[in-house]
Structure 1
Protein backbone atom coordinates (compact mmCIF):
# COMPACT_ATOMS: atom_id res chain seq x y z
CA UNK A 1 0.00 0.00 0.00
CA UNK A 2 1.29 3.46 -0.83
CA UNK A 3 2.26 5.58 2.14
CA UNK A 4 -0.27 8.36 1.60
CA UNK A 5 -3.06 5.78 1.29
CA UNK A 6 -1.80 4.04 4.43
CA UNK A 7 -2.01 7.30 6.38
CA UNK A 8 -5.47 8.01 5.01
CA UNK A 9 -6.67 4.55 6.06
CA UNK A 10 -5.19 5.18 9.50
CA UNK A 11 -7.38 8.24 9.85
CA UNK A 12 -4.42 10.64 9.99
CA UNK A 13 -5.75 12.84 7.19
CA UNK A 14 -7.10 12.69 3.65
CA UNK A 15 -4.74 11.50 0.93
CA UNK A 16 -3.94 15.02 -0.23
CA UNK A 17 -3.33 16.23 3.31
CA UNK A 18 -1.25 13.13 3.99
CA UNK A 19 0.99 13.99 1.04
CA UNK A 20 1.72 17.38 2.62
CA UNK A 21 2.51 15.71 5.96
CA UNK A 22 4.91 13.34 4.22
CA UNK A 23 6.58 16.14 2.23
CA UNK A 24 7.15 18.05 5.47
CA UNK A 25 9.31 15.20 6.76
CA UNK A 26 6.95 14.31 9.59
CA UNK A 27 6.65 10.63 8.66
CA UNK A 28 9.11 7.84 9.37
CA UNK A 29 9.08 4.23 8.20
CA UNK A 30 11.29 1.92 10.21
CA UNK A 31 12.90 4.94 11.86
CA UNK A 32 13.81 6.64 8.56
CA UNK A 33 12.19 9.85 7.36
CA UNK A 34 10.30 9.22 4.12
CA UNK A 35 9.24 12.05 1.81
CA UNK A 36 7.87 10.05 -1.12
CA UNK A 37 4.09 9.50 -0.74
CA UNK A 38 4.27 6.57 -3.20
CA UNK A 39 6.57 4.57 -0.90
CA UNK A 40 5.19 1.06 -0.41
CA UNK A 41 4.48 0.06 3.18
CA UNK A 42 2.92 -3.01 4.75
CA UNK A 43 0.96 -3.80 7.88
CA UNK A 44 4.10 -4.89 9.72
CA UNK A 45 6.05 -1.71 8.99
CA UNK A 46 6.68 0.74 11.82
CA UNK A 47 5.03 3.89 10.46
CA UNK A 48 5.03 6.99 12.64
CA UNK A 49 3.80 10.57 12.30
CA UNK A 50 5.57 13.08 14.54
CA UNK A 51 6.96 10.11 16.43
CA UNK A 52 3.58 8.52 17.17
CA UNK A 53 2.83 5.09 15.64
CA UNK A 54 -0.07 4.78 13.22
CA UNK A 55 -1.83 1.77 11.74
CA UNK A 56 -4.71 1.42 9.27
CA UNK A 57 -8.14 1.27 10.85
CA UNK A 58 -9.70 -2.13 10.21
CA UNK A 59 -13.33 -0.97 10.29
CA UNK A 60 -14.08 2.60 9.35
CA UNK A 61 -17.05 4.70 10.38
CA UNK A 62 -18.99 7.49 8.73
CA UNK A 63 -21.22 9.85 10.70
CA UNK A 64 -23.81 12.17 9.20
CA UNK A 65 -24.13 15.35 11.28
CA UNK A 66 -26.57 18.24 11.06
CA UNK A 67 -24.15 21.01 11.95
CA UNK A 68 -25.52 23.92 13.97
CA UNK A 69 -24.40 27.51 13.47
CA UNK A 70 -21.35 28.51 15.49
CA UNK A 71 -19.71 25.08 15.22
CA UNK A 72 -16.57 24.90 13.08
CA UNK A 73 -15.89 22.16 10.55
CA UNK A 74 -12.49 21.09 11.82
CA UNK A 75 -11.22 18.32 14.07
CA UNK A 76 -9.63 20.86 16.44
CA UNK A 77 -9.85 24.62 16.81
CA UNK A 78 -7.03 26.78 18.14
CA UNK A 79 -9.56 29.37 19.38
CA UNK A 80 -11.43 26.87 21.52
CA UNK A 81 -14.64 26.98 19.50
CA UNK A 82 -16.85 23.86 19.40
CA UNK A 83 -16.10 21.55 16.46
CA UNK A 84 -18.20 19.05 14.55
CA UNK A 85 -16.06 16.25 15.97
CA UNK A 86 -17.23 17.27 19.45
CA UNK A 87 -20.78 16.36 18.41
CA UNK A 88 -20.17 12.63 17.82
CA UNK A 89 -18.85 9.73 19.92
CA UNK A 90 -15.41 9.56 18.32
CA UNK A 91 -13.82 7.48 21.08
CA UNK A 92 -10.19 6.81 20.16
CA UNK A 93 -10.80 7.24 16.44
CA UNK A 94 -9.29 10.17 14.58
CA UNK A 95 -12.27 11.60 12.76
CA UNK A 96 -12.15 14.49 10.36
CA UNK A 97 -14.78 16.32 8.31
CA UNK A 98 -15.47 15.53 4.67
CA UNK A 99 -15.13 19.03 3.26
CA UNK A 100 -16.18 22.07 5.25
CA UNK A 101 -19.08 24.32 6.05
CA UNK A 102 -18.65 27.88 7.26
CA UNK A 103 -19.20 28.41 10.96
CA UNK A 104 -22.44 30.28 10.17
CA UNK A 105 -23.68 27.61 7.73
CA UNK A 106 -25.82 24.77 9.02
CA UNK A 107 -26.71 21.38 7.64
CA UNK A 108 -25.24 18.11 6.47
CA UNK A 109 -21.59 17.31 6.96
CA UNK A 110 -19.90 13.91 7.13
CA UNK A 111 -17.23 12.79 9.59
CA UNK A 112 -15.09 9.73 8.96
CA UNK A 113 -11.78 8.04 9.61
CA UNK A 114 -11.72 6.81 5.99
CA UNK A 115 -9.40 9.16 4.13
CA UNK A 116 -9.95 7.44 0.81
CA UNK A 117 -13.71 7.99 0.98
CA UNK A 118 -13.16 11.62 1.98
CA UNK A 119 -11.01 12.15 -1.10
CA UNK A 120 -13.58 10.54 -3.37
CA UNK A 121 -16.26 12.91 -2.12
CA UNK A 122 -14.19 16.11 -2.15
CA UNK A 123 -11.74 15.82 -5.05
CA UNK A 124 -12.63 18.38 -7.76
CA UNK A 125 -12.40 15.85 -10.59
CA UNK A 126 -15.46 13.95 -9.35
CA UNK A 127 -17.80 16.95 -9.01
CA UNK A 128 -19.98 15.26 -6.38
CA UNK A 129 -23.16 17.38 -6.13
CA UNK A 130 -23.89 19.36 -2.97
CA UNK A 131 -27.33 20.89 -2.42
CA UNK A 132 -27.96 24.06 -0.40
CA UNK A 133 -30.96 26.10 0.66
CA UNK A 134 -30.13 29.80 0.79
CA UNK A 135 -32.28 32.62 2.13
CA UNK A 136 -31.10 35.79 0.46
CA UNK A 137 -31.66 39.52 0.69
CA UNK A 138 -33.94 40.98 -1.94
CA UNK A 139 -36.31 39.29 -4.36
CA UNK A 140 -34.40 37.18 -6.89
CA UNK A 141 -35.36 37.97 -10.46
CA UNK A 142 -34.89 35.90 -13.62
CA UNK A 143 -31.71 37.72 -14.59
CA UNK A 144 -29.99 36.77 -11.33
CA UNK A 145 -31.17 33.18 -11.73
CA UNK A 146 -29.64 32.99 -15.21
CA UNK A 147 -26.32 34.30 -13.90
CA UNK A 148 -26.19 31.70 -11.13
CA UNK A 149 -27.14 28.92 -13.53
CA UNK A 150 -24.66 29.91 -16.23
CA UNK A 151 -21.70 30.57 -13.92
CA UNK A 152 -20.58 33.58 -11.93
CA UNK A 153 -17.24 35.36 -12.29
CA UNK A 154 -15.48 35.34 -8.89
CA UNK A 155 -12.01 36.47 -7.90
CA UNK A 156 -10.75 32.87 -8.25
CA UNK A 157 -12.37 32.28 -11.63
CA UNK A 158 -15.74 31.57 -13.15
CA UNK A 159 -17.92 29.02 -11.35
CA UNK A 160 -19.27 25.93 -13.06
CA UNK A 161 -22.89 26.09 -14.19
CA UNK A 162 -25.19 25.34 -11.24
CA UNK A 163 -28.70 24.00 -10.90
CA UNK A 164 -30.71 26.75 -9.19
CA UNK A 165 -34.38 26.69 -8.27
CA UNK A 166 -36.30 29.64 -6.89
CA UNK A 167 -38.38 28.26 -4.01
CA UNK A 168 -39.83 31.73 -3.32
CA UNK A 169 -38.57 35.26 -4.07
CA UNK A 170 -36.08 35.11 -1.18
CA UNK A 171 -35.13 31.39 -1.08
CA UNK A 172 -32.99 29.44 -3.52
CA UNK A 173 -32.11 25.78 -3.82
CA UNK A 174 -28.64 25.48 -5.37
CA UNK A 175 -26.85 22.34 -6.52
CA UNK A 176 -23.10 22.84 -6.92
CA UNK A 177 -20.49 20.43 -8.29
CA UNK A 178 -17.44 22.20 -6.92
CA UNK A 179 -16.41 23.23 -3.45
CA UNK A 180 -14.72 26.60 -3.34
CA UNK A 181 -14.44 28.50 -0.08
CA UNK A 182 -17.72 30.23 0.83
CA UNK A 183 -18.86 29.63 -2.73
CA UNK A 184 -22.63 29.92 -2.33
CA UNK A 185 -22.30 33.13 -0.34
CA UNK A 186 -19.89 34.63 -2.87
CA UNK A 187 -22.05 33.66 -5.84
CA UNK A 188 -25.21 35.13 -4.38
CA UNK A 189 -23.45 38.32 -3.34
CA UNK A 190 -22.00 38.65 -6.85
CA UNK A 191 -25.51 38.74 -8.34
CA UNK A 192 -26.74 41.26 -5.78
CA UNK A 193 -28.42 38.98 -3.23
CA UNK A 194 -26.27 38.43 -0.13
CA UNK A 195 -27.02 35.26 1.83
CA UNK A 196 -28.84 35.74 5.12
CA UNK A 197 -29.04 32.05 6.06
CA UNK A 198 -27.49 28.97 4.45
CA UNK A 199 -28.11 25.27 4.98
CA UNK A 200 -26.69 22.24 3.18
CA UNK A 201 -29.33 19.56 2.79
CA UNK A 202 -27.65 16.97 0.58
CA UNK A 203 -24.22 15.57 -0.30
CA UNK A 204 -24.14 13.14 -3.22
CA UNK A 205 -26.82 10.49 -2.56
CA UNK A 206 -27.19 11.37 1.15
CA UNK A 207 -29.87 13.72 2.48
CA UNK A 208 -29.85 15.36 5.90
CA UNK A 209 -33.22 13.72 6.48
CA UNK A 210 -34.81 14.07 9.89
CA UNK A 211 -31.65 14.98 11.77
CA UNK A 212 -32.17 18.04 13.90
CA UNK A 213 -29.39 20.57 14.33
CA UNK A 214 -26.69 19.08 16.52
CA UNK A 215 -27.88 15.51 15.95
CA UNK A 216 -25.88 12.76 14.25
CA UNK A 217 -26.23 9.19 13.09
CA UNK A 218 -23.82 6.51 11.94
CA UNK A 219 -24.32 5.46 8.32
CA UNK A 220 -24.97 1.82 7.54
CA UNK A 221 -22.96 -0.25 5.05
CA UNK A 222 -25.46 0.35 2.24
CA UNK A 223 -25.28 4.12 2.66
CA UNK A 224 -21.48 4.09 2.80
CA UNK A 225 -21.33 2.04 -0.38
CA UNK A 226 -23.68 4.50 -2.08
CA UNK A 227 -21.27 7.29 -1.14
CA UNK A 228 -18.36 5.29 -2.60
CA UNK A 229 -20.29 4.76 -5.82
CA UNK A 230 -21.31 8.43 -6.16
CA UNK A 231 -18.07 9.97 -7.51
CA UNK A 232 -17.75 9.75 -11.29
CA UNK A 233 -14.64 11.22 -12.93
CA UNK A 234 -15.64 14.24 -15.03
CA UNK A 235 -13.40 15.77 -17.66
CA UNK A 236 -14.13 19.27 -18.86
CA UNK A 237 -12.26 21.30 -21.47
CA UNK A 238 -9.62 23.40 -19.76
CA UNK A 239 -10.02 21.57 -16.41
CA UNK A 240 -7.50 19.11 -15.10
CA UNK A 241 -8.91 15.65 -14.41
Structure 2
Protein backbone atom coordinates (compact mmCIF):
# COMPACT_ATOMS: atom_id res chain seq x y z
CA UNK A 1 0.00 0.00 0.00
CA UNK A 2 1.13 3.55 -0.66
CA UNK A 3 2.83 5.39 2.16
CA UNK A 4 0.51 7.44 4.33
CA UNK A 5 2.89 10.39 4.08
CA UNK A 6 1.88 10.84 0.44
CA UNK A 7 -1.72 11.60 1.38
CA UNK A 8 -1.62 15.38 1.18
CA UNK A 9 -0.76 15.78 -2.48
CA UNK A 10 -3.72 14.12 -4.17
CA UNK A 11 -6.35 16.85 -3.86
CA UNK A 12 -9.01 14.62 -2.28
CA UNK A 13 -10.63 14.62 1.11
CA UNK A 14 -8.92 12.27 3.53
CA UNK A 15 -11.76 12.33 6.02
CA UNK A 16 -14.49 9.70 6.12
CA UNK A 17 -17.61 10.72 4.23
CA UNK A 18 -20.23 12.10 6.58
CA UNK A 19 -23.96 12.39 6.29
CA UNK A 20 -24.89 15.27 3.94
CA UNK A 21 -25.62 18.51 5.79
CA UNK A 22 -29.19 19.71 5.92
CA UNK A 23 -30.77 16.26 6.14
CA UNK A 24 -33.45 15.80 8.75
CA UNK A 25 -32.94 12.13 9.44
CA UNK A 26 -30.35 10.75 11.84
CA UNK A 27 -27.79 8.32 10.48
CA UNK A 28 -25.92 5.60 12.38
CA UNK A 29 -22.11 5.85 12.36
CA UNK A 30 -20.82 4.03 9.26
CA UNK A 31 -18.27 1.22 9.48
CA UNK A 32 -15.81 -0.07 6.89
CA UNK A 33 -16.02 -3.88 6.84
CA UNK A 34 -12.72 -5.34 5.60
CA UNK A 35 -13.02 -8.94 4.37
CA UNK A 36 -9.91 -10.83 3.29
CA UNK A 37 -8.68 -14.35 3.99
CA UNK A 38 -5.10 -13.08 4.46
CA UNK A 39 -4.58 -11.84 8.01
CA UNK A 40 -1.68 -9.57 7.01
CA UNK A 41 -3.87 -7.79 4.44
CA UNK A 42 -6.74 -7.40 6.92
CA UNK A 43 -4.38 -5.96 9.51
CA UNK A 44 -2.69 -3.55 7.09
CA UNK A 45 -5.96 -2.27 5.62
CA UNK A 46 -7.54 -2.00 9.05
CA UNK A 47 -4.65 0.03 10.45
CA UNK A 48 -4.51 2.33 7.43
CA UNK A 49 -8.26 3.03 7.43
CA UNK A 50 -8.23 3.63 11.18
CA UNK A 51 -5.49 6.24 10.69
CA UNK A 52 -7.79 7.98 8.20
CA UNK A 53 -10.54 8.12 10.82
CA UNK A 54 -12.75 5.23 9.77
CA UNK A 55 -14.38 2.78 12.15
CA UNK A 56 -13.20 -0.65 10.96
CA UNK A 57 -14.26 -4.26 11.48
CA UNK A 58 -12.37 -7.15 9.87
CA UNK A 59 -13.48 -10.63 8.80
CA UNK A 60 -11.53 -13.61 7.47
CA UNK A 61 -14.37 -14.87 5.25
CA UNK A 62 -17.42 -13.45 3.52
CA UNK A 63 -19.54 -16.20 5.07
CA UNK A 64 -18.64 -15.05 8.59
CA UNK A 65 -19.41 -11.46 7.66
CA UNK A 66 -22.82 -12.37 6.19
CA UNK A 67 -23.65 -14.47 9.25
CA UNK A 68 -22.95 -11.58 11.63
CA UNK A 69 -24.26 -8.70 9.49
CA UNK A 70 -27.23 -6.87 10.99
CA UNK A 71 -29.60 -5.34 8.39
CA UNK A 72 -29.52 -1.87 9.95
CA UNK A 73 -25.71 -1.54 9.79
CA UNK A 74 -24.40 1.25 7.58
CA UNK A 75 -20.98 1.66 6.03
CA UNK A 76 -18.93 0.18 3.22
CA UNK A 77 -17.54 -3.27 2.42
CA UNK A 78 -13.95 -3.73 1.22
CA UNK A 79 -13.53 -7.35 0.16
CA UNK A 80 -11.04 -9.51 -1.68
CA UNK A 81 -12.38 -11.16 -4.82
CA UNK A 82 -10.77 -14.56 -4.32
CA UNK A 83 -11.57 -16.10 -0.94
CA UNK A 84 -12.47 -19.58 0.32
CA UNK A 85 -16.22 -20.17 0.41
CA UNK A 86 -18.22 -17.18 -0.78
CA UNK A 87 -15.97 -15.04 -2.96
CA UNK A 88 -16.14 -11.26 -3.34
CA UNK A 89 -18.38 -11.25 -6.41
CA UNK A 90 -20.81 -13.76 -4.86
CA UNK A 91 -20.79 -11.63 -1.68
CA UNK A 92 -21.74 -8.56 -3.72
CA UNK A 93 -24.61 -10.42 -5.37
CA UNK A 94 -25.86 -11.65 -1.99
CA UNK A 95 -25.86 -8.14 -0.52
CA UNK A 96 -27.82 -6.91 -3.54
CA UNK A 97 -30.27 -9.80 -3.10
CA UNK A 98 -30.78 -8.81 0.53
CA UNK A 99 -31.47 -5.22 -0.47
CA UNK A 100 -28.46 -3.99 1.49
CA UNK A 101 -27.42 -0.35 1.13
CA UNK A 102 -23.76 -1.22 1.82
CA UNK A 103 -21.55 -0.26 -1.14
CA UNK A 104 -18.93 -2.90 -1.99
CA UNK A 105 -15.37 -2.20 -3.11
CA UNK A 106 -13.64 -5.32 -4.43
CA UNK A 107 -9.87 -5.72 -4.41
CA UNK A 108 -7.75 -8.36 -6.11
CA UNK A 109 -4.12 -9.25 -6.69
CA UNK A 110 -5.05 -11.23 -9.81
CA UNK A 111 -7.24 -8.70 -11.58
CA UNK A 112 -8.16 -8.83 -15.25
CA UNK A 113 -10.76 -7.09 -17.39
CA UNK A 114 -13.38 -9.90 -17.28
CA UNK A 115 -13.11 -10.01 -13.48
CA UNK A 116 -13.53 -6.24 -13.19
CA UNK A 117 -16.54 -6.32 -15.52
CA UNK A 118 -18.10 -9.17 -13.53
CA UNK A 119 -17.57 -7.23 -10.29
CA UNK A 120 -19.27 -4.08 -11.56
CA UNK A 121 -22.12 -6.07 -13.11
CA UNK A 122 -22.65 -7.81 -9.76
CA UNK A 123 -23.15 -4.38 -8.18
CA UNK A 124 -19.71 -3.45 -6.84
CA UNK A 125 -19.06 0.25 -6.27
CA UNK A 126 -15.46 -0.04 -7.47
CA UNK A 127 -12.75 -2.55 -8.33
CA UNK A 128 -9.16 -1.95 -7.18
CA UNK A 129 -6.02 -3.95 -7.90
CA UNK A 130 -3.55 -5.02 -5.21
CA UNK A 131 -1.24 -3.66 -3.96
CA UNK A 132 -3.91 -1.22 -2.86
CA UNK A 133 -3.13 2.49 -3.15
CA UNK A 134 -4.28 4.21 0.05
CA UNK A 135 -5.61 7.31 -1.70
CA UNK A 136 -7.51 5.35 -4.32
CA UNK A 137 -9.17 3.19 -1.68
CA UNK A 138 -10.07 6.10 0.63
CA UNK A 139 -11.55 8.03 -2.30
CA UNK A 140 -13.59 4.99 -3.37
CA UNK A 141 -14.88 4.45 0.19
CA UNK A 142 -15.89 8.11 0.50
CA UNK A 143 -17.74 7.98 -2.83
CA UNK A 144 -19.50 4.80 -1.78
CA UNK A 145 -20.50 6.19 1.62
CA UNK A 146 -21.77 9.44 0.09
CA UNK A 147 -24.00 7.53 -2.34
CA UNK A 148 -25.16 5.19 0.43
CA UNK A 149 -26.16 8.17 2.60
CA UNK A 150 -28.11 9.65 -0.31
CA UNK A 151 -29.94 6.37 -0.88
CA UNK A 152 -30.78 6.07 2.82
CA UNK A 153 -32.02 9.66 2.96
CA UNK A 154 -34.22 9.06 -0.08
CA UNK A 155 -35.53 5.77 1.30
CA UNK A 156 -36.33 7.17 4.73
CA UNK A 157 -37.85 10.33 3.28
CA UNK A 158 -40.19 8.20 1.16
CA UNK A 159 -41.08 6.07 4.19
CA UNK A 160 -41.97 9.25 6.09
CA UNK A 161 -44.06 10.48 3.16
CA UNK A 162 -45.93 7.16 2.94
CA UNK A 163 -46.57 7.32 6.67
CA UNK A 164 -48.09 10.80 6.35
CA UNK A 165 -50.25 9.71 3.41
CA UNK A 166 -51.51 6.69 5.37
CA UNK A 167 -52.93 9.09 7.98
CA UNK A 168 -55.33 10.64 5.47
CA UNK A 169 -58.97 9.61 5.66
CA UNK A 170 -60.72 8.22 2.57
CA UNK A 171 -62.32 11.61 1.90
CA UNK A 172 -58.98 13.39 2.35
CA UNK A 173 -57.40 11.02 -0.18
CA UNK A 174 -60.13 11.99 -2.65
CA UNK A 175 -59.38 15.67 -2.05
CA UNK A 176 -55.62 15.03 -2.31
CA UNK A 177 -55.98 13.29 -5.68
CA UNK A 178 -58.23 15.98 -7.13
CA UNK A 179 -56.06 18.86 -5.91
CA UNK A 180 -52.88 17.40 -7.44
CA UNK A 181 -54.77 16.80 -10.70
CA UNK A 182 -55.41 20.54 -10.89
CA UNK A 183 -59.04 20.77 -9.78
CA UNK A 184 -60.05 24.00 -8.05
CA UNK A 185 -61.96 23.95 -4.77
CA UNK A 186 -65.11 24.98 -6.65
CA UNK A 187 -64.68 22.13 -9.14
CA UNK A 188 -64.00 19.62 -6.35
CA UNK A 189 -67.09 20.80 -4.49
CA UNK A 190 -69.25 20.25 -7.56
CA UNK A 191 -67.68 16.86 -8.32
CA UNK A 192 -68.07 15.50 -4.77
CA UNK A 193 -71.34 17.32 -4.05
CA UNK A 194 -69.84 19.21 -1.12
CA UNK A 195 -69.88 22.87 -0.19
CA UNK A 196 -66.80 24.89 -1.19
CA UNK A 197 -66.26 25.70 2.48
CA UNK A 198 -66.17 21.97 3.35
CA UNK A 199 -63.71 21.33 0.54
CA UNK A 200 -61.46 24.13 1.79
CA UNK A 201 -61.55 22.58 5.27
CA UNK A 202 -60.57 19.15 3.92
CA UNK A 203 -57.89 20.72 1.76
CA UNK A 204 -56.35 22.47 4.76
CA UNK A 205 -56.31 19.19 6.69
CA UNK A 206 -54.58 17.43 3.79
CA UNK A 207 -51.92 20.14 3.55
CA UNK A 208 -51.30 19.97 7.30
CA UNK A 209 -51.07 16.17 7.48
CA UNK A 210 -48.78 16.02 4.44
CA UNK A 211 -46.66 18.92 5.77
CA UNK A 212 -47.04 20.61 2.38
CA UNK A 213 -46.72 24.39 2.39
CA UNK A 214 -48.03 24.74 -1.16
CA UNK A 215 -49.90 22.89 -3.89
CA UNK A 216 -46.62 22.58 -5.80
CA UNK A 217 -45.13 20.60 -2.89
CA UNK A 218 -48.26 18.45 -2.76
CA UNK A 219 -47.90 17.68 -6.48
CA UNK A 220 -44.25 16.63 -6.02
CA UNK A 221 -45.34 14.39 -3.16
CA UNK A 222 -48.04 12.84 -5.35
CA UNK A 223 -45.42 12.03 -8.00
CA UNK A 224 -43.17 10.34 -5.43
CA UNK A 225 -46.14 8.39 -4.08
CA UNK A 226 -47.11 7.25 -7.57
CA UNK A 227 -50.51 8.95 -7.41
CA UNK A 228 -49.81 10.87 -10.62
CA UNK A 229 -47.21 10.64 -13.38
CA UNK A 230 -44.91 13.60 -14.07
- Decide which structure has greater helix share: 2
- Decide which structure has greater strand share: 1
Fold equivalence (TM over 0.5): no
Normalising by the smaller structure, the TM-score range is: under 0.3
Give the TM-score normalised by the residue count of structure 2. Answer: 0.23
